[in-house]
């Protein structure tokens, strides 16, 4: 018989029991693209008091933009894909032409942000990267290939700044991801994006 004890658990903790309680930290979908659950531990290995303390620390980490997993693993802070994308967007993308910035931000918003949420970007296996890219390839092989090149550029920039050391994405070759866009395809996309931004005064520019 399952006994729900939500009334005994602080907000953000879920407790369900068969014979033991399980404490799980839940990040609401309103903050991310999907619910993220982080297992805190089982009772009586971890007490309710300890679960509350870890929950409090997780909330503080999350609110400061850091990874709540740190409260569980005790690891030094690591970079997630979201962290890398944010760093790239802040320190590199603004140097590019307006149309190119729009293209990169669009890819980041639609595909990168919220992917592999809470994961150390350096420990994501090449197989996981490829499976994710393959799902995008099913809908649009050209988009998957273009996304891969932008993701690689983002992570290479972070490596050049010593934000991260290495990732398994380096093991994947561009020719094995989708299909490369035809010459001029992305330039046309930038033209349309810039047209939307400035009204009927579009200024075509080339991808850099």
**What is the predicted pLDDT for the residue at 112?**
94
Identify the CATH number of the domain defined by range 3-73.
3.30.160
Q: Domain coordinates of the chain in residue numbers?
A: 3-73, 81-198
Give the phi and the psi of residue 2 in degrees, each rounded to 5: -95, 130
pLDDT by residue, tens only, the chain of 208 residues? 233 333 333 444 555 544 455 666 565 444 445 556 777 777 777 777 888 888 888 787 777 666 677 777 665 568 899 999 999 999 999 999 999 999 999 999 999 999 998 888 999 999 999 999 999 999 999 999 999 999 999 999 999 998 888 999 999 999 999 877 665 555 444 434 443 433 433 333 333 3
Q: How far apart are CA 131 and CA 168, in angstroms?
A: 13
CATH architecture entry for 81-198: Orthogonal Bundle (1.10)
Q: At which residue do the structure tokens 């979908």 appear? A: 29
DSSP readout, 14-33? EEEESSSEEEEEEE-TTTSS
DSSP H/E element including 73: helix 70-73
**What is the predicted pLDDT for the residue at 193?**
40
Give the phi and the psi of residue 79 in degrees, each rounded to 5: -95, 130
**What is the predicted pLDDT for the residue at 1?**
29
Sheet strands side by side (includes 36-43) = 3-4, 13-17, 21-27, 36-43
**What is the predicted pLDDT for the residue at 156?**
96
What does the H/E/C string look like for 122-181? HHCCHHHHHHHHHHHHHHCHHHHHHHHHHHHHHHHHHHHCCCCCCCHHHHCCHHHCCCCC
**What is the predicted pLDDT for the residue at 197?**
38
């Amino acid at each position: 018989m399952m006994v729900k004890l939500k009334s005994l658990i602080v907000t953000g903790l879920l407790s369900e029991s068969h014979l033991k309680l399980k404490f799980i930290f839940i990040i609401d979908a309103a903050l991310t693209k999907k619910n993220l659950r982080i297992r805190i531990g089982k009772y009586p290995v971890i007490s309710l008091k300890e679960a509350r303390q870890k929950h409090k620390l997780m909330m503080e980490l999350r609110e400061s933009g850091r990874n709540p997993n740190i409260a569980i693993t005790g690891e030094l802070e690591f970079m997630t894909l979201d962290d890398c994308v944010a760093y790239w967007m802040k320190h590199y993308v603004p140097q590019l032409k307006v149309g190119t910035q729009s293209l990169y931000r669009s890819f980041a918003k639609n595909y990168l942000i919220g992917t592999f949420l809470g994961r150390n970007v350096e420990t994501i296996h090449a197989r996981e990267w490829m499976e994710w890219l393959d799902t995008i390839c099913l809908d649009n092989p050209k988009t998957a290939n273009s996304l891969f090149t932008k993701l690689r550029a983002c992570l290479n920039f972070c490596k050049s700044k010593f934000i991260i050391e290495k990732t398994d994405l380096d093991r994947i070759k561009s020719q094995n991801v989708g299909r490369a866009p035809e010459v001029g395809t992305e330039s046309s996309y930038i033209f349309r994006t810039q047209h939307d931004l400035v009204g009927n005064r579009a200024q075509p520019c080339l991808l850099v």
